[in-house]
Amino acid sequence: MISHHHESRQIRRFNERTKAKAEAADQKADKQAYIQINFLISKVFKGDELEELAYKLGIMERQRELTTLGFISVLMMGCICDTSDDGMRSLRRMCLLLHNDFFGRIHIRPQALFKKINRIETSGFIKEVMSRIMAYKIDRSLKKNLKKCKGKIASLYRILLQDSTVISLPDSLKRIFRGCGGAASEAAVKCDYIIDQSNHILVRVKFVAGRIPDVSMSADIIDYIAEGDLVIRDLGYFQLTQLSRIIGKNGHFISRLSKTANVYLNKDDQEPVDLIIHLSKLKIDGDIEIYVGKIERLKVRLIGIKVPPEVVEARRKRHKENRKKQEPSEELQEWNGYTLMVTDIPKEALSLKMVLKLYRIRWQIELFFKNIKSNLCVDNLTGKNKYRILCILYIKIALTWVVANLYAYAQALVGIAMEVSLDQFTKWLKEEGRLKIAFLTSDISSLLEELERDVYLLCKQKRKRKSTMQDIEATYMEEHNAA
Backbone angles phi, psi at 216, to 5 degrees: -70, -15
User: Is the model more confident about 200 or about 250?
Assistant: 250
Q: Which of 335, 352, 369 is the last residue of a domain?
A: 369
For 13-44, the pLDDT digits (tens) are 777 887 777 777 666 666 666 666 666 677 77
Residue 111 shares a structural domain with residue 162: no
Long-range contacts of 101-107 (CB under 8 A, 24+ apart): 101/31, 101/34, 102/34, 102/38, 102/70, 102/73, 103/67, 103/69, 103/70, 106/65, 106/66, 106/67, 106/70, 107/65
Virtual torsion, Cα 209, 214, 219, 220, nearest 10 deg: 50
| Interatomic CA distance for residues 159 and 237, integer angstroms | 16
| Interatomic CA distance for residues 139 and 108, integer angstroms | 35
- pLDDT value of position 480: 74
| Interatomic CA distance for residues 279 and 388, integer angstroms | 54
What's the pTM? Answer: 0.73
User: Is the model more confident about 471 or about 324?
Assistant: 471
CA 26 from centre of chain:
30
364, pLDDT greater than 60: yes
Residue 346 shares a structural domain with residue 283: yes
DSSP 8-class letter at 418 = S
Q: Which of 117, 140, 174 is the last residue of a domain?
A: 117
- pLDDT value of position 193: 92
Residue 191 shares a structural domain with residue 284: yes
Question: Is 378 contained in some domain?
Answer: no
Question: Is 451 contained in some domain?
Answer: no
For 131-153, the pLDDT digits (tens) are 677 666 555 555 555 544 445 56
The tally of domains found in the chain comes to 2
- pLDDT value of position 284: 62
Question: Is 145 contained in some domain?
Answer: no
Residue 99 shares a structural domain with residue 199: no
Residue 12 structural domain: 2-117
Residue 113 shares a structural domain with residue 257: no
Residue 190 shares a structural domain with residue 70: no
Residue 163 shares a structural domain with residue 48: no
- pLDDT value of position 176: 80
CB atoms within 10 A of CB 321: 10
User: Is the model more confident about 80 or about 430?
Assistant: 430
Question: Is 361 contained in some domain?
Answer: yes
For 269-281, the pLDDT digits (tens) are 889 988 888 887 7
- Report the amino acid identity of residue 61: E
Residue 347 shares a structural domain with residue 212: yes
Residue 226 shares a structural domain with residue 300: yes
Residue 222 shares a structural domain with residue 315: yes
Arithmetic mean of pLDDT, 80-96: 53
CB-neighbour burial class of residue 438 (10 A; exposed 0-12, middle 13-18, buried 19+): buried
For 191-246, the pLDDT digits (tens) are 999 998 887 888 888 888 888 999 999 999 999 998 889 999 999 999 999 999 99
Confidence of residue 156 (pLDDT cuts 50, 70, 90): low
CB atoms within 10 A of CB 26: 13
Q: Which of 346, 369, 392 is the last residue of a domain?
A: 369
Residue 107 shares a structural domain with residue 236: no
Arithmetic mean of pLDDT, 274-293: 81
Residue 108 shares a structural domain with residue 196: no
**3-class secondary-structure state, position 434:** helix
Question: Is 122 contained in some domain?
Answer: no
- Report the amino acid identity of residue 148: K
Question: Is 125 contained in some domain?
Answer: no
- pLDDT value of position 29: 63
Q: Do 104 and 122 contact (CB within 8 A), yes or no?
A: no
121, pLDDT greater than 70: yes
- pLDDT value of position 1: 43
Q: Do 288 and 301 contact (CB within 8 A), yes or no?
A: yes
For 414-434, the pLDDT digits (tens) are 876 778 889 999 999 888 777
